[in-house]
Structure 1
Amino acid sequence: MKAKKGDAGYIRTQKRRRTFYTTFLFAVSIAVFLTGYFTTHTRNNVLTIVAVLGCLPAAKAAVGLIILLPYHTIDEKKQILLREKAPLITVAYDLVITSREKIMPIDVIAISGHLVCGYVSRTKVDLAYTEKYIKTTLKENHYDKMTVKLFTDYNAFLGRAEGMNNIEAVEKPENHRIEESIKDILLNIAI
């Protein structure tokens, strides 16, 4: 089954897909160039121009792949543990959120009401900047008074998610629609 954006395993699937796509595009450009070279015995032909222009989408695909290479899918044990402890909350996995200044990988985000919390396994991520960026993005989309908290400790995140799950057990079902809308916004700012 193909992993969609926000599902666990999305980064792994995207790495495979983008590797294939990038390789295919460069192979087509090389094949076009070689066809022109072997038919005219010179590189000064129209197919050389077509091959060079074909490298543009291939290079764009390569950039997308290079951006994803350092990031990994969340550990399956952590995913299962979260599902056991907090089955009622809305979650999104494997997010690589981008802004103009930074790339911010987030392993998992949990959403409940006006609370968004997430787990980040990479210690080099600027948590304060990421929290502020998410909060600003949600505010721009008319979700004011949102609380955003990111954790580098999985147990602290899991404890917060359990608390959110307990609140979700007594909340009204119309909040689920709002949470899905917030999740969609977060997925839109992610690769």
Structure 2
Amino acid sequence: MKKKVNKCDFGYLNYQCKKEIIMTILLFVISLGILFLGICINGTKNNLLTIVAVLGLLPASKELIITVMFLRAKKYACSESLHEEILATGDYEKSKIIRYDLYMTAYQKNFPIYAMTCKAGELIGFSDVPDFDYEEATKHIMLLLSQNGFKNITVKIFDKKEKFLERLKAMSLSENENTGKDLEILHLMENISL
């Protein structure tokens, strides 16, 4: 596996999915190993190591659930071509103000967003998932922003890649600098994503 990919960096969903699969397999193998060790030593499954093995299945099962969530989200990872197009619109690689592979969950729906950035109180994102509810996603994000004390933020999730890239380029060319508030908003988006 390559070096660690931080949450919301390009390639995060793919990296995390592989990591979770390996961790799940490892935890189940450890539990089964303890069970078989107890059977080999005592000749029966009725021993203390069986209890330890069964208790070891609890974290393994939790990890399995996390793995299933990442496997479902993995198909919404930002593509290499989109990543290259985003980098071509401005100096985003050095500034680290683009967040990728955001998979936001709400009570009723999930909102996969390929890329997102914020500048001068304007939060924009891109998702062209066929059944994506843009209005509901915007409401969800606005609600979370207001609950965390962010006021007067414009949220726009684009469904057309060209319009998103056009707006991204305009934002990179604008005179406005990224403020601490913009970075806090992006940090909040990271925290509410898978």
Which AA in structure 2 matches 1:34?
A: F
Give the superposition deviation at 1:107. 0.7
- Greater shift after overlay, 98-107 or 72-81? 98-107
Preserved CA contact (<8 Å) 1:25 1:58: yes
Name structure 1 gaps, 5 residues minimum: none
- Greater shift after overlay, 79-88 or 179-188? 79-88
Give the superposition deviation at 1:42. 1.7
Query: Residues 103-129 of structure 1: CA distance to partner in whole angstroms, max 9, x if unpaired?
Result: 321110121111111111322222222
**C-alpha distance in 1, partners of 2:25/2:129?**
29
**C-alpha distance in 2, partners of 1:180/1:142?**
14
**C-alpha distance in 2, partners of 1:127/1:10?**
23
Q: Secondary structure of 2:152's match?
A: coil
Residue 179 of structure 1 is matched in structure 2 by: 182
**C-alpha distance in 2, partners of 1:186/1:17?**
22
Give the superposition deviation at 1:53. 1.0
**C-alpha distance in 1, partners of 2:6/2:153?**
26
Give the superposition deviation at 1:87. 2.5
Q: Secondary structure of 1:187's match?
A: helix
**C-alpha distance in 2, partners of 1:49/1:129?**
47
Residue 20 of structure 1 is matched in structure 2 by: 22
Residue 65 of structure 2 is matched in structure 1 by: 63
Residue from 3, 8, 13 that aligns with 1:6 = 8
Give the superposition deviation at 1:180. 1.2
Give the superposition deviation at 1:82. 1.0
Q: In the alignment, does 2:100 pair up with 1:93?
A: yes
Which AA in structure 2 matches 1:45?
A: N
Give the superposition deviation at 1:102. 2.9
**C-alpha distance in 1, partners of 2:66/2:111?**
15
**C-alpha distance in 1, partners of 2:108/2:128?**
20
Matches within 5 A, 1:41-60: 41-60=43-62
Residue 110 of structure 1 is matched in structure 2 by: 117
Deviating beyond 4 angstroms after TM superposition, the runs of 4 or more aligned structure 1 residues are none
Give the superposition deviation at 1:86. 3.0
Q: Secondary structure of 1:69's match?
A: helix
Residue 79 of structure 2 is matched in structure 1 by: 75
What is the count of residue pairs matched by the alignment?
187
**C-alpha distance in 2, partners of 1:13/1:131?**
27
**What is the CA RMSD across the aligned residues, in angstroms?**
1.6
Identity %: 28
**C-alpha distance in 2, partners of 1:125/1:37?**
51
